[in-house]
Amino acid sequence: MANQYLTMKELKEALPEIPENSLKRYLQEHAEYINFKKEHNRYKIQASEIEKLKLIRKLYSDGLKKEEVTTKLEEAGFPVTITVEDEEESSSTSLMNVNHELTDMKKLVSFLVQQNEQSRLQQNKIREQNKQLIHEVQELKQTIDDLRMAHEQGNEQESEKVTSLYEKLMATQKSVEEVAIAVEAEKSKSIWQKLFGK
């Protein structure tokens, strides 16, 4: 029974509650979820698809739109099939299951979203480090200014502190420049370069 194909007339007898026009519309609008053949403008539907057609009918009766019905079919785990005409015999068809390809695409998109989020978090972290370094530099500059004023008043011991603080300031400035270069290098890398290392 599962591999048996029904004509539209036989299908209509099996599903008397669904008008023929509605059945044809379901076949056209959800072809990727229903196993059928079309030969010379005549539909031949696999008998195992009766329950699926009942479900589609119920979803439409519940007020769902075409896209929402498609989503429900996908969520129910029905395999997506593509009908490909055989080059040698146009009447025979072969079905390919593309669920694996769709799953792989979803995984790739999810991976790209994660990479993008990680990159954003990294940039935020670097931005915070920059703010902290700038704050430290400003504090050092203020301390140096205070010490210079004391030095101008003739205190020799303070002169050594000024020199030491100046060296620290230069080291901090170098750190800020290195972080800025790293940020620019990170920004210039595209997501694809990060993914594929090119």
Mean pLDDT of the region 165-180: 77
Structurally, the chain folds into a number of domains equal to 2
Q: Contact 130/176 with Cβ under 8 angstroms?
A: yes
Instruction: Specify whether 66 is located in the same domain as 109.
Output: no
Which residues make beta-bridge pairs with 43? 38
Instruction: Specify whether 108 is located in the same domain as 192.
Output: yes
Mean pLDDT of the region 39-51: 85
Please say which residue of 48, 64, 97 terminates a domain.
97
Which range is least confidently modeled, 38-47, 96-105, 107-116, 122-131? Answer: 96-105
Instruction: Specify whether 91 is located in the same domain as 123.
Output: no
pLDDT above 70 (res 197) = no
Please say which residue of 81, 97, 113 terminates a domain.
97
Question: Per DSSP, which regions of 24-92 are E strands?
Answer: 36-39, 42-46, 81-85
Distance CA 149, CA 115 (A): 51
Band of residue 192 on the pLDDT scale cut at 50, 70, 90 = low
Q: What is the pLDDT of residues 9-32, one digit of tens each?
A: 898 899 999 998 998 899 888 888
Q: How many CB atoms lie within 10 A of CB 73?
A: 19
Instruction: Specify whether 24 is located in the same domain as 88.
Output: yes
Range of the domain at 130: 103-196
Instruction: Specify whether 93 is located in the same domain as 109.
Output: no
Instruction: Specify whether 109 is located in the same domain as 186.
Output: yes
**What amino acid occupies position 26?**
Y
Instruction: Specify whether 43 is located in the same domain as 10.
Output: yes
The DSSP code for 80 is P
Instruction: Specify whether 142 is located in the same domain as 184.
Output: yes
Instruction: Specify whether 11 is located in the same domain as 79.
Output: yes
Tokens 């008043």 appear where?
153
Q: Contact 30/78 with Cβ under 8 angstroms?
A: no
* 175: CB partners within 8 A, 6+ apart: 133
Band of residue 83 on the pLDDT scale cut at 50, 70, 90 = low
Of 32, 27, 30, which Cα lies nearest the Cα of 82?
Answer: 32
Instruction: Specify whether 12 is located in the same domain as 89.
Output: yes
Instruction: Specify whether 17 is located in the same domain as 55.
Output: yes
Band of residue 87 on the pLDDT scale cut at 50, 70, 90 = very low
The per-residue pLDDT for 3 is 67
Please say which residue of 97, 122, 156 terminates a domain.
97
Instruction: Specify whether 113 is located in the same domain as 64.
Output: no
pTM above 0.75, yes or no: no
